[in-house]
Amino acid sequence: MSKSPAILPNISLQPFNTFGVEAKASAYMEITSSQCLMDAIQDGFLEGNSVLVLGGGSNLLVQKDFNGLVLHMRNRSIKLIRQTAETFMVQASAGENWHDFVQWTLHQGMPGLENLSLIPGSVGASPIQNIGAYGVEVGEFIDSVQIIHLSSGRMENLDGKSCGFAYRDSIFKNELKGLVAVLGVTFALPRKWTPRLDYADVARELAAREWKMPTATQIAQAVIDIRKRKLPDPTVIGNAGSFFKNPVVSEETYRTLLAAHPGLVSYPYGDGSRKLAAGWLIDQCGWKGRRKGDAGVYEKQALVLVNHGNATGSEIAELAHEIQQDVFRHFGVQLEPEPVFV
């Protein structure tokens, strides 16, 4: 006989989103194992309900109360499942804290993810967003993603090539959106490690420390220190990290913008396209450090929206919309938010 986890009614989501905005869910279920989620599906608890799968809540903007069932992924485990001549195959459950998982791999002598240190959130969210930082995207290291279909309880292993990874994008934000939950991720970490030092901020940080041949742990520490200087701690001031994606434009559009704005900050992005620095665009429009009520733009990084205390999700969304309009007016470039709006 199956044993579904308890459903709790009328639960505040404020502790479960890093913006710290207040909203309630009409029903909440903590998922501590793959089996308990399968039991809940088979027992019909998801039928007729709107469902929100929640991880660390670090890529989420809750604008109002959620009239449905929140599935909070809290399943935990990390293990080395096998080794090949080329890779360490490491499997982590969706509920594991992402930064703690990265630190575990480094302590075990399995480098590769060090540039992704201190990104808030859970392992289960990492393939959905195809998280990236400092020249690295997690999709490069994902061998497979373990998912469960919410309508049937069928489990499936989706190989990395089928995940549709792109810049801050994946199949989970498109064809499979709302249809599956991520149960765990298997990573292929290289035995022959090559440090990724081509990102300017990382290179400068390492040079300042005179680390000419840094270890993976030293790179991780450099990344951690950079992020701490640039980004606010969500436990101190509510935020979801970078709020907007860096827009990708054609070479022609880039050259037109550069002629009009010689200080334009951009990076090559393959196939002749360019990735523009969204933070620079926002800063040029004068938004850095501004606030509307308790919703504001972080004073040290214009790419980050913050909750100064009692901002609602809708107030933060309104601020984001104003910024989008302003950037489009000045540059003709449309900014796309990173967080999921609920």
Which residues are identified as catalytic?
Answer: 168, 242, 338
Strand 60-61 versus strand 66-73 pairing type: unpaired
Residue-by-residue DSSP string for 2-34: --PPPEEEEEE-GGGSTT----EEEEEEEE-SH
* SS3 of residue 326 by DSSP: helix
Q: Round to whole Å and give the CA distance between 276 and 86.
A: 35
Q: How many CB atoms lie within 10 A of CB 178?
A: 11
Residues 6+ positions from 235 with CB-CB distance below 8 Å = none
Task: Name the one residue in this structure whose structure tokens are 């499997």.
Answer: 91
Task: Name the one residue in this structure whose structure tokens are 């935020």.
Answer: 239
Contact 94, 123 (CB under 8 A): yes
Strands (E), 140-294: 142-149, 155-159, 180-190, 238-242, 248-249, 266-268, 274-276, 291-292
Q: Most distant CA pair in the chain: distance in Å? A: 69
Q: Which two tokens stand for residue 154?
A: 């069928």
**Which of 329, 321, 319 is closest to 21 using CA atoms?**
319
Residue-by-residue DSSP string for 279-317: HHHHHHTT-TT-EETTEEE-SS-TTEEEE-SS--HHHHH
Q: Which two tokens stand for residue 67?
A: 């009239």
Contact 243, 304 (CB under 8 A): yes
